[in-house]
Amino acid sequence: MKYPTTIQNLIECFEHLPGIGEKTAERLALATLDFDEEVIDIFAKSLKDTKKKIKRCSRCNNLAESELCDVCKDDTRDHEILCVVENPKNIILFEKLGTFHGYYHVIDGLISPLDGINPEDVHIPQLIDRIQKENIKEVILALKPSVEGETTSLYISKLLNNTNVLVSKIAHGVPLGADMDYVDSLTLELALENRKKISNDD
């Protein structure tokens, strides 16, 4: 004995989402019954539109509805500074601060040899290409303060060792082990201000 098929299907869809178990999926699916029809239409349409329209920016790999994302479309920013982030969500965090005026590059993951994730898998060759082509003067690494994040930062800084590019990483104001998504704005702002040049000597 189960719910009617349509509800059962909807519950299974909600179960596909991260962190949503059987009970929660059931609760969410039943909650949609109380939504206005209008909201349901927008919900269904948004799901399809997001899947269909959202691409990656051809320049920085951010989420975008067109060839370039909103940041890359903005020509008034500082073309010489590039902030390297793990995923598009991190860009939103920095943009909420409003104090960074360069561009971004999303590498989409961190180097993790144990998990078989190599520099090519996280768009590092594209990053290096872009730095050279666009004549970037400063690269700020804003990656997660974990083993993988540090490895990735070090790897990128080594690749840029013999160039004129100034490589820095955001300060360890970001609490160690924390998820970048949950860092508060003030900590992030301090971390951005106190970024330090990576030295390959230590």
Please identify which residue in 116, 182, 199, 202 interacts with a second copy, judged by CB under 8 A.
182
Sole residue written with tokens 């596909």: 16
Give helix 88-97 / helix 185-193 axis angle, nearest 10°: 90
Q: Judged by CB under 8 A, does residue 65 bind a second copy? A: yes
Q: Judged by CB under 8 A, does residue 186 bind a second copy? A: no
Give the Cα separation of 84 and 48 in Å (integer): 30
Q: Judged by CB under 8 A, does residue 115 bind a second copy? A: no
Q: Judged by CB under 8 A, does residue 53 bind a second copy? A: yes
Please identify which residue in 59, 61, 64, 153 interacts with a second copy, judged by CB under 8 A.
64
Helix (H, G, I), strand (E, B) or coil at 106: strand
Q: Are 122 and 97 in contact (CB under 8 A)?
A: no
Please identify which residue in 115, 181, 184, 193 interacts with a second copy, judged by CB under 8 A.
181
Q: Are 86 and 107 in contact (CB under 8 A)?
A: yes
Give the DSSP letter of residue 170.
Answer: -
Q: Judged by CB under 8 A, does residue 76 bind a second copy? A: no
Give the Cα separation of 54 and 111 in Å (integer): 25
**In the range 4-43, which residues lie near a second copy by CB under 8 A?**
4-7, 9-10, 13, 16-20, 23-24, 26-33, 35, 37, 39-43
Give me the residues that bind a second copy (CB under 8 A), please.
1-7, 9-10, 13, 16-20, 23-24, 26-33, 35, 37, 39-54, 63-65, 69-71, 88-89, 92, 95-96, 98, 181-182
